[in-house]
Chains A and B, each alone.
Chain A
Amino acid sequence: MDLLPSAEQAEIAASIASFLGKELPMTRVRELGAQPSSRDAATWRTCAELGWFGLGLPEQAGGVGYGLAEEALLFREIGRFLAPGPFLATVLGARVAAAAGAHDLAAAIVAGSTVVGSAEADRSVAADSVLAADLDLYDAVDADLVLLATDAGAALYETSAFSNVVAHECIDPLTRVATARAEGVPAVVVVPSESEAVYRRGAVLVAAMACGLAEQARDLSAEHARTRVQFGKPIGVNQAVKHACTDMAVRAEAATCQTFYAALTLDGGSVDAPFHVASAKVVATNAATLNARAAVQVHGGMGFTWEHDAHLLVKRAHVVSVLFGDRREHLARLLALPPAQRGWA
């Protein structure tokens, strides 16, 4: 039992962070935010070469062979760096293709040549072999396929098969949102939830992104509190500011511990996994939302400007709150589940 990253895992996370820091600094992220697709094609190819899209797939399926914990480490960094693009749907899409036995498709997704955006639908909708539903599409602008993951299973559909596609401006300038209609759209591949718990994996990885956001809000705020001088002292000497930063640290710690715990229970096939996944989604998105809000406050007037990054944290926190089940949905799931067993045996 070890809930902290091993030396190898810490190395993986550090190299991801180092890559994102170089490839997608905030100046570049903001440039991408102003373009029709916020996905950077060149960076995407490099991410594919680094094996990100197959990180958690077995080697025989063209993946790297790591587990959900390593995928969660990846998405925590993606959250921290506000990396734009359909990383999550692509990683999950490769898994759906591989699980359905569509090996060429899985290989194309892992290689970065087929891009997968995500779709969300009303909870009553199942990802069937023929889909009839109203959809919300995320980062599907230049995606070849979209992923729909539901309790009943997950499927990939051709983006071009949807009708009434209407683009909307998203609260998050780094995320592309559209509404669309699927009128009898056939699935490219479908997997039932028993074979791959795609919805739950997605919830864990969104929670991991939320952890990264919560930590970034904490770190930007602590840095500002250490260096911004007012009344002749760094503002962090004031408990009103210091304790706001501390609360961010507490929420980030609760979020990361629960998210990695959930990742491990889901990967290990524990009966408690649904309970821990829902808990992780609730605790982590709560941390992202509250920490982002506090980051704006700690930064004062600067925090309210477009120029500062704090508002991008606030807005991305809304995205992670909505994707793969919002707070109300996961709270309802939590109350409907049996209590978790104490201990992990």
Chain B
Amino acid sequence: MDLNVSPADVEFRDEVRTWLHEHGPAEPRPRGGRAMREFDVAWQRTQYDAGWAGINWPVEFGGRGLSLLQQVIWYEEYATLGLPGIDSCFVGNSHAGPTLISRGNEQQKSFHLPKILRGEVIWAQGFSEPEAGSDLASLQTRAEVDGDELVVTGQKVWTSYADLADWQELLVRTDRDAAKHKGITWVICDMRSPGVDVRPLQTMEGEHDFAEVFYDEVRIPLTNVVGAINDGWSVAMSTLSFERGTAFTASQTKLAETVEQLIELAHQRGIADDEVARNLATARAEVAALGAMTYAGVSRNLRQPEPGPEGSILKLFYAELSQRVYRLAMDVLGPEQLRLGAAGTHPDWHHDYLLSYSFSIGGGTSEIMRNIIGERVLGLPR
């Protein structure tokens, strides 16, 4: 155990901090729509041009080939400066990209990975269905092989940025007779294919980034299958393990900033309430622990590159801690919690408070995380 940082890492952090300070977008990120997409991909492109995209991705696909620790350093500095969320570029950078690096073939990697890093494309997820939420493996969107194509018919739901996306990581059922985990395929879907119909959904914080996606005999080349036909479940689990590992470092760092903003706000309001004060102090301690858990995750990655079920512990802890922090923010706001708008140094407490309700649902509910931890970390029976 050590906290020794190599001179290269110290220098890297300084470079990141300086560059982000000088080049981070000063103007606010447009909320939704094409304007947001243009903003996000332009910012991704700026990062790429300066050599900051795909920090721990292989050099041959446009990445920097640096360590996971350096990727974590980037996210920390990024979030500390309060730069715009990685939202619409998240699936490409932290979900589909790592999955392709791990499970894609050479042709898929060389075609897609550079486009993600250069900000040429937006990716969306296509896992959940109306009848397959927590029980993801019961998904029914059907794909039949017809010549050298898959023909897909069905429906996905909870797809963020579907209306803006170029590509989708899509889970389909390719064998209806096999056991439910054995008949699934992970395939790359071109969102502009004929037969794809995106219908936006409004979420409880009032935004329209969510959508349901309908597929009516959508034809996808078999060359878009990642892994093998009917082996999609293991590919999907690998995708989700990346998501539950260190992909949320920026969000976790942002939460640390949020707690500090909240303490500042409580000072401004002159709140001298023992319960609020202790809850704020506890939040500080727990956010510190969240950071330590992230570093432990990086350390584990050095011993075992494919993320394990321990990522679910981090995800669960983060989800519940965020919800406690934003609920506490409402207490600190007092009657002002009823009036939408900025308060103190945080741009939008209400938006983030409402959004935090999704953290224990998206990417696997906290109940499913608890099952995974119970069964795969503690060895409890199913």
Q: Is this pair of chains taken from one and the same complex?
A: yes
Partner-B contacts on A (CB < 8 A): 1-6, 9, 69, 218, 222, 225-226, 233-234, 236-237, 239, 242-243, 245-247, 249-250, 253-255, 257-258, 260-261, 263-265, 268, 270, 275-276, 278-280, 282-283, 286, 328, 330-332, 334-335, 339-340, 342-345
Q: Of B163-171, B176-184, B239-247, B282-290, which binds chain A? A: B282-290
How long is the Cα–Cα vector from A344 to B1 in the complex, in angstroms?
14
Q: Is B343 an interface residue (CB 8 A)?
A: no
Task: Beyond the given A1-B5, A242-B374, please list 10 additional residue pairs across the A-B interface where CB-CB is below 8 A.
Answer: A1-B295, A246-B378, A258-B289, A258-B293, A261-B295, A264-B2, A264-B3, A268-B3, A279-B284, A335-B284
Chain A residues with CB under 8 A of B378: 218, 222, 225, 245-246, 249
Chain B residues with CB under 8 A of A2: 1-2, 299, 302
Q: Across the interface, name the chain A residue whose C-beta is closest to B380.
A: A236
Q: Find B296's partner among A218, A257, A276, A280 (CB 8 Å cutoff).
A: A257
Q: Is B317 an interface residue (CB 8 A)?
A: yes
Give 23 A-B contacts (CB < 8 Å), ordered by A residue. A1-B4, A3-B292, A4-B1, A4-B299, A4-B300, A4-B303, A6-B1, A222-B378, A234-B381, A246-B378, A249-B313, A250-B313, A250-B317, A254-B317, A260-B292, A279-B284, A280-B285, A282-B282, A331-B285, A332-B281, A335-B263, A339-B263, A340-B288
Chain B residues with CB under 8 A of A233: 381
Q: Which of B292, B369, B374 has the most CB of A within 10 A?
A: B292
B1 touches A3 (CB 8 A): yes
A283 touches B296 (CB 8 A): no
Q: Across the interface, name the chain B residue whose C-beta is closest to A340.
A: B288
- How many B residues have CB within 8 A of the partner chain? 55
Contact A243/B367 with A264-B2, A340-B288, A342-B256 known, Cβ cut-off 8 Å: yes
Main secondary structure, interface of A, reads: helix
How long is the Cα–Cα vector from A275 to B4 in the complex, in angstroms?
19
* Among all A-B residue pairs, the 10 with the closest Cβ atoms: A279-B285, A257-B292, A261-B292, A331-B281, A258-B289, A236-B380, A279-B288, A242-B374, A282-B285, A254-B289
CB distance from A320 to the nearest CB of B (A): 16
Q: Find B281's partner among A6, A261, A282 (CB 8 Å cutoff).
A: A282
B371 touches A242 (CB 8 A): yes
How long is the Cα–Cα vector from A37 to B81 in the complex, in angstroms?
56
